[in-house]
C-alpha cells in the first residue's frame, strides 16, 4: 500500500468516531497480509510446504505432545476439511507419525518425528528472524505492552 493512502486513512477515516476501530483493524490486516505472504512463499520455496502444514507441525512442537486429529484441528488456524490431506503429506514426508493412543486403542495420535522437530525448529527460527525486523520499530516497553494487548484480545475471542 502506498504511504499517501495510509496518510489519507489516518487523516480522515479514523477521525470519524464511528470508524475509529479501523485504526486497529487496518494495521492488523496489513501486518497479517504481509507476514502471511512472505511466510507462505518462504515455506513453499525452502520446504515445499504450505502454512497449513507448518501450522500442524508448530502445534505439535509447541504442545510438546502427540495430539489427536481433532485436537490438532482445535490447535490450528485452518478448517478441519483439509486436515486429512495435510496429515497425509506430512506423514509421506516422514515429518509426523501416527501412534496408537494409550487410552483408546481405536484412536491414533499424531506425533512429530525427529525430522519434523528439526524442520519446525529451523522454520520457526527463520520466521522469527524475519518477523523481528517488522517489530524492531517498537521499544522494549511497547513490545511488552503490545504482547499483553494482543493476548487480551485473543483470549476475549475464546
Structure pTM? 0.82
Determine the Cα–Cα distance for residues 61 and 42; give it in Å rounded to an integer.
19
Confidence at residue 152, expressed as pLDDT on a 0 to 100 scale: 96
For 62-77, give one letter per residue: b (16+ CB within 10 A) or e. eeeebbebebbbeebe
- Cβ-contact 56, 96 below 8 angstroms: yes
Grid cell 493512502 is found at: 5
Q: What are phi and psi of 99, to 5 degrees?
A: -130, 145
Confidence at residue 80, expressed as pLDDT on a 0 to 100 scale: 63
Confidence at residue 87, expressed as pLDDT on a 0 to 100 scale: 93
Kindly report the CATH number that applies to the domain delimited by 21-156. Answer: 1.10.10.10
- The residues of the chain scoring below 70 in pLDDT are 77-81
Confidence at residue 77, expressed as pLDDT on a 0 to 100 scale: 66
Amino acid at each position: 500500500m502506498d504511504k499517501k493512502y495510509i496518510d489519507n486513512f489516518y487523516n480522515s477515516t479514523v477521525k470519524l468516531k464511528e470508524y475509529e476501530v479501523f485504526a486497529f483493524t487496518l494495521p492488523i490486516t496489513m501486518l497479517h497480509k504481509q507476514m502471511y505472504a512472505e511466510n507462505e512463499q518462504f515455506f513453499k520455496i525452502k520446504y515445499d510446504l504450505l502454512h497449513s502444514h507448518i501450522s500442524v507441525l508448530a502445534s505439535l512442537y509447541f504442545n510438546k505432545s502427540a495430539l489427536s486429529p481433532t485436537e490438532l484441528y482445535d490447535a490450528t488456524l485452518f478448517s478441519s476439511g483439509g486436515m486429512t490431506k495435510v496429515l497425509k503429506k506430512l506423514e509421506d514426508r516422514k515429518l509426523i507419525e501416527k501412534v496408537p493412543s494409550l487410552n483408546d486403542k481405536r484412536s491414533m495420535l499424531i506425533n512429530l518425528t525427529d525430522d519434523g522437530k528439526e524442520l519446525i525448529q529451523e522454520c520457526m527460527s527463520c520466521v522469527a528472524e524475519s518477523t523481528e525486523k517488522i517489530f524492531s520499530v517498537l521499544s522494549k516497553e511497547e513490545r511488552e505492552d503490545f504482547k499483553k494487548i494482543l493476548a487480551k484480545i485473543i483470549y476475549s475471542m475464546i
